[in-house]
Amino acid sequence: MATAQQVKALLKSYSDGDSEHFVSVALQIAANAARSGKGKLAQDLRELVDTIKNRQASGKVSGSVSIARPSGELASLLAASFPKTRLSEMVLDSSTREPLEKMIREYHHHDKLQSHGYSARRKLLLVGPPGCGKTMTASALAGEFKLPLFSVQLHGLLTKFMGEAAAKLYSIFDSMNQTRGVYLFDEFDAIGANRGAGNDVGEIRRVLNSFLQFLEQDDSDSIVLAATNFVGMLDDALFRRFDDVIEYHTPSDDQVKELIRNRLKSFLPKRIAWQKIFAASQGLSHAEISRACDDAAKECILEGSNQIHSTIFISFLTGRQRDGQSDRRSQATE
């Protein structure tokens, strides 16, 4: 039988996502069992370990054993999380929601599609202004597929690993085969900006070319997402390599209402000045409106009241407008 120390080591390696250690402790337990004459148990354990290893090698490990936290070099490149978000929690235009729903449907039936020679969509470029749901989409897809989410910030990757960024990208694409997940390449304009735009052509072009090549060669079961705020700056060659380009927009009045209703729930009074709220929400992102809702809800709790007051809520929205304007002004002068 496994010793208490071995059980502890097994649980620790599971929680650290350290698959090598997990497997090595499991093999030690099998060896102990063999030594104490439990040949059948030892054999069963070894077979289970082989199944895990084979499924990892073929990228078929599902959420059952979450040996998915990156270790070694990958840990410094990828941030891992296990989101529970669902697409139904998002407020989106139908032109944004429909391709995402289509992707989820295809992915759930990828074996069926494959048996007829088709592959499910799994490479998406997400484009739109800040705070409108690109990162949330990555979490929602991970939540829908019950897969881990691995994110990499490309600006950071380029500055931290100047000269080695293409090699680092290779390790990330390589890990897509080992560990099935949703891989988000955030701040994609860092490498995807138009080649004619007079940027530092050398290193960035090399990294972009490598990315395009890895993306094209990738035939793993992982989902690959790239997100950027700047559609106009992106290189044309990119668009062809993705299965879909999904555009995000600031919310319409109906979406503002849906977002506020979802967010404020019981804090929202039955009668509220929607027209004034729409006017105060003009141009705000989902993230800014969500933050105004949270501020208003907290104010309610601290005041001991159970419903927000329109005027106070509107003042939070206009506060967000002012913060947004000053952020935009400071970005313009940077």
Ligand X SMILES: Nc1ncnc2c1ncn2[C@@H]1O[C@H](COP(=O)(O)OP(=O)(O)OP(=O)(O)O)[C@@H](O)[C@H]1O
Kindly list the distances between the CA atom of residue 163 and the CA atoms of 157, 192, 200, 216, 306, in Å, as whole numbers in the listed order.
10, 17, 13, 22, 56
Q: Which is nearer to Mg ion, 212 or 287 (CB)?
A: 287
Which residues have a Cβ under 8 Å from the Cβ of 238 and sit 6 or more positions away? 125, 192, 212, 226
Site string for ligand X, 245-274 (x = CB under 6 A): --------------x---------------
Residue 87 Cβ vs ligand X, minimum distance, rounded to whole Å: 10
33 in contact with ligand X (CB under 6 A): no
Paired tokens of 197:
């735009």
Kindly list the distances between the CA atom of residue 18 and the CA atoms of 3, 54, 57, 175, 261, in Å, as whole numbers in the listed order.
20, 16, 15, 14, 42
By CB under 5 A, what part of segment 134-173 binds Mg ion?
A: 134-135
Which string of DSSP letters, residue by residue, matches 108-153?
Answer: HTHHHHHHTT-----EEEEE-STTSSHHHHHHHHHHHHT--EEEEE
Residue 230 Cβ vs ligand X, minimum distance, rounded to whole Å: 10
Q: Which is nearer to ligand X, 43 or 282 (CB)?
A: 282
136 is in the binding site of which of Mg ion, ligand X, none (Cβ under 5 to 8 A by kind)? ligand X
- Starting at the earlier edge strand, list the strands of the sheet with 79-81: 79-81, 149-153, 182-186, 223-228, 123-127, 244-247
- Classify residue 195 by its DSSP letter: G
246 is in the binding site of which of Mg ion, ligand X, none (Cβ under 5 to 8 A by kind)? none
Point out which span in 6-14, 60-68, 110-118, 285-293 binds ligand X (CB under 6 A): 285-293
Q: For residues 150 and 70, what is the distance between their CA atoms, to the nearest angstrom?
A: 9
Which string of DSSP letters, residue by residue, matches 246-313?
Answer: EE--PPPHHHHHHHHHHHHGGGS-SS--HHHHHHHHTT--HHHHHHHHHHHHHHHHHHT-SS--HHHH
Interface pick for ligand X out of 70, 290, 297, 300 (rule CB under 6 A):
290
Residue 262 Cβ vs ligand X, minimum distance, rounded to whole Å: 7
Point out which span in 102-110, 127-135, 158-166, 306-314 binds ligand X (CB under 6 A): 127-135
Q: Which is nearer to ligand X, 17 or 131 (CB)?
A: 131
133 in contact with ligand X (CB under 6 A): yes
Q: Which is nearer to Mg ion, 173 or 185 (CB)?
A: 185
286 is in the binding site of which of Mg ion, ligand X, none (Cβ under 5 to 8 A by kind)? ligand X
Give the residue nearest to ligand X (CB).
Answer: 133
Task: For residue 144, give the amino acid letter.
Answer: E
By CB under 6 A, what part of segment 136-195 binds ligand X?
A: 136
Q: Which residues lie near Mg ion (CB under 5 A)?
A: 134-135
Q: Which residues lie near ligand X (CB under 6 A)?
A: 90-92, 130-136, 229, 259, 286-287, 290
